[in-house]
Structure 1
């Protein structure tokens, strides 16, 4: 969903729905296009926290260096936190969040499941399932994680 369409719907839902106290983190690669799992959580399941933060981890062209900051407030109760990291760096996401004073109550992330009869896409689906997820790579706290499955039929 394009960010403009998302924000329009988000503002309506945030204004009328009851909000859960605390902070929720949502991982997104690119904030210009909001992943489907986020709109499902917020709009289909009506799960909206008082403070919602999109976390974007951006790989830089330089090999080293880590910078993190709040990029911008998109709407009331919705912020963007960017972590810019060199392609050779291995970062501790939990530590970076703590240093910035982010005390998350829950962490949402998306999982894609691909169903297809096409042999090439089926091979891709198997490789994707066997590869470690970014949750394992970044060692996010398992007691706060909520994976949201999105099934793609091709």
Structure 2
């Protein structure tokens, strides 16, 4: 993305509204049919700190092996409604990109927020979390979605 204008600012506002309506913790532009590399987030980390923001053209830092501690918590997605599966992801993440005005930003997160940063960056590069599951777990997640009954209670993001 190279145009950092009022249209982009409006898109970010619209994405926050859509994310809140869907009670999600993050939303990537391609989830709402916009072919731009931008996502928004409103997510708590494991320490209870709320992180709210956006990033354009995100690139996930490759973590050195000594920083890579996997967390195999459950993950869900607005694009795969009512389905959840355990997915091992690093419990720390750094995403670098720019804000809506083109200023460089680096966002770091731990725990659930790290998962959110990785998940939303994945979206912008064509991956859903179920693409990272084993065939059996992916099949189970797709069955959950087809049945339409959440395996876990949905928690509102207030």
TM-score after normalising by structure 1: 0.29
Q: Quick check: which has more Rg, 1 or 2? A: 1
Structure with the higher fraction of residues in strand conformation: 1
TM-score, normalization by structure 2 = 0.28
